[in-house]
A = this chain, B = another copy of it.
Amino acid sequence: MTAVLAQVLAAIDQDRAAALDRLFAWLRIPSVSMDPASKADCVRAAEFCAADLRSLGFAASLRPSLSHPMVVGHRKSRKPGAPHVLFYGHYDVQPPEPLELWTRPPFEPHIAQDARNGDMIVARGSSDDKGQVMTFLDGLRGWIAATGDVPLTLTVLIEGDEEADSAPLDAFVRANATELKADLALVCDSEAWDRARPAITTSLRGFAGAEITVSGPSRDLHSGKYGGAAINPIRALTAMLGALHGADGAVLIPGFYDGIAEPTAKTRERWRRLGFDAAAYLAEAGLKHPSGEAGREFLELIWTRPTAEINGIWGGYQGPGMKTVIPSEAHAKVSFRLVPGQNPAVVLANFEHFLRARLPADCRLTLTLSDGTRGISFDPEAPHIASAVAALTDEWGAPPAIVGSGGSIPVVSAFKDVLGMDALMIGFSQGDDGAHSPNEKYNVESLHRGTRSWARVIGTLARISHPT
């Protein structure tokens, strides 16, 4: 450890009580983006954040978006040639309902304890994402307290619609691409691997979706009159969708797996070292058997293999008893989790072709497509990730977990697609934080060691000339 880093970490350690006070003040603002009544509170939460950025030497302001304001701050390092990073987080929180399940009101943060987690900050937004955002800002604060500067040039973007709608952020990034472009994005909105190890997420699955309507008869028919004569759109729909997967769990749309790379031996070795407990993961959902492609590793199935999922289906009579109707329409919503190598538009086109090839006479098919995002994979051995691994290993005494995500993070896709910028996603929240549940908490340990972690990562990133 350098003498400078030791001073930075010491400053962070001395700031622990004040750091809690600042986070508590932010948590008291009920910035529920999905609640129209919270509009003014969202502005207050944004202003709190902008003021904190100004206290760190940022030129920061609230910027209009399609919905709640964006907080944008810029801070130039005094260090010549300092890398430029964009830190992203969000100040909005999930609705706190059901309120009766909270032991204390959701916007009155307090410290609780349990044997597993030690001291915990309990409040809506403590883990998702105000606490995690503060780990980064407090890391900067440590650097400034110890050295008067940060060895990175910084742009900070804190949005207020992450829990509600990805469109405002996407539009804002597109409209302000030049201003927001940096060498690397830093994101702190994900989970640690466990209490002993933070996680760096290096892959995200993409997404494509479609709502399907199969129309047949011009009106609902009685099966006593038309059964045997009239095509039933539910029969057509189940025949189409029932053919989506083979008995081995593979998706049978022609070309679906084209262009997908196999995991490298290094990746498989990394997975093995994680010691992931697939049986426990399934048991949490009441299950015992993975449903994806046979012969694939479990982490492969949920992180790096694509899926087709029927998220909803409906048609005909759904009330009590029997009604012998042949309905005129049937509907389904189908979505795909995609991985690098797959193009969402091509997947949807192949899916539509797959359906049309199975469309019976007298039926019509309409599809309403959703915006798609590609799967993303970052090289775990890229210099900025290697530097983050080194920094986190120093802080935690063990290397961080390099993980994938089976879901999408729209902001990371926007940074990649619009700004051509990779993201370094580090998370300190715990699986039991209850991010979207009553009594959401963030461990005091997560806040403090997360802050120290970012301070170290800032130090190692500063030594890379071209982090991307």
Nearest CB on B from A302, distance (A): 5
The interface size of chain A toward B, counting residues with CB under 8 Å, comes to 79
**Contact A288 B228, beta carbon cutoff 8 Å:** no
A218-247 contact mask (Cβ, 8 Å, vs B): 1 or 0 = 110111111111111011011111111100
Q: Which of A243, A312, A317, A330: most chain B CB closer than 10 A?
A: A312
A285-300 contact mask (Cβ, 8 Å, vs B): 1 or 0 = 1111111110000100
Residue of B nearest to A231 (CB): B291
Compute how far the CA of A298 lies from the CA of B225 in the bound complex, rounded to whole angstroms. Answer: 12
Nearest CB on B from A429, distance (A): 14
**Contact B224 A291, beta carbon cutoff 8 Å:** no
B contact residues around A453 at 8 Å (CB): none
**Contact B325 A229, beta carbon cutoff 8 Å:** no
Compute how far the CA of A168 lies from the CA of B209 in the bound complex, rounded to whole angstroms. Answer: 49
Nearest CB on B from A463, distance (A): 34
A400-414 contact mask (Cβ, 8 Å, vs B): 1 or 0 = 000001111000000
Question: Would A230 and B285 be within 8 Å (CB), given that A291-B362, A330-B313 are in contact?
Answer: yes
**Contact B242 A302, beta carbon cutoff 8 Å:** no
Interfacial residues of chain A within 348-375, with CB under 8 A of chain B in the complex:
360-362, 370
Nearest CB on B from A188, distance (A): 18
**Contact A205 B224, beta carbon cutoff 8 Å:** yes
Question: Would A242 and B240 be within 8 Å (CB), given that A228-B292, A311-B325, A312-B315 are in contact?
Answer: yes
Compute how far the CA of A205 lies from the CA of B314 in the bound complex, rounded to whole angstroms. Answer: 27
Contact among B313, B325, B370 for A322, CB-based, below 8 A: B370
Nearest CB on B from A204, distance (A): 9
Residue of B nearest to A216 (CB): B287
Answer whether residue A178 sits at the interface, using C-beta atoms and an 8 A cutoff. Answer: no
Contact among B223, B240, B302 for A311, CB-based, below 8 A: B223
**Contact B317 A312, beta carbon cutoff 8 Å:** yes
**Contact A298 B242, beta carbon cutoff 8 Å:** no
Interfacial residues of chain A within 314-346, with CB under 8 A of chain B in the complex:
314-318, 321-327, 330-333, 335, 337
**Contact A313 B316, beta carbon cutoff 8 Å:** yes
B contact residues around A209 at 8 Å (CB): 322, 324
Residue of B nearest to A326 (CB): B309
Q: Which of A234, A332, A408: most chain B CB closer than 10 A?
A: A234
Residue of B nearest to A245 (CB): B235
Answer whether residue A132 sits at the interface, using C-beta atoms and an 8 A cutoff. Answer: no
**Contact B228 A310, beta carbon cutoff 8 Å:** no
Nearest CB on B from A243, distance (A): 6
Answer whether residue A307 sits at the interface, using C-beta atoms and an 8 A cutoff. Answer: yes
B contact residues around A240 at 8 Å (CB): 242
Nearest CB on B from A375, distance (A): 12
Contact among B229, B244, B305, B312 for A302, CB-based, below 8 A: B229
B contact residues around A234 at 8 Å (CB): 241, 310-313, 332
B contact residues around A40 at 8 Å (CB): none
Nearest CB on B from A210, distance (A): 9
Contact among B302, B323, B333 for A228, CB-based, below 8 A: B302
What are 11 A-B pairs with beta-carbon distances under 8 A? A211-B322, A216-B287, A227-B309, A228-B337, A229-B290, A229-B302, A235-B245, A312-B327, A314-B318, A318-B333, A322-B370
User: Which 5 pairs across A and B sit closest by C-beta, in order of nearness?
Assistant: A224-B407, A242-B242, A218-B286, A312-B316, A228-B301
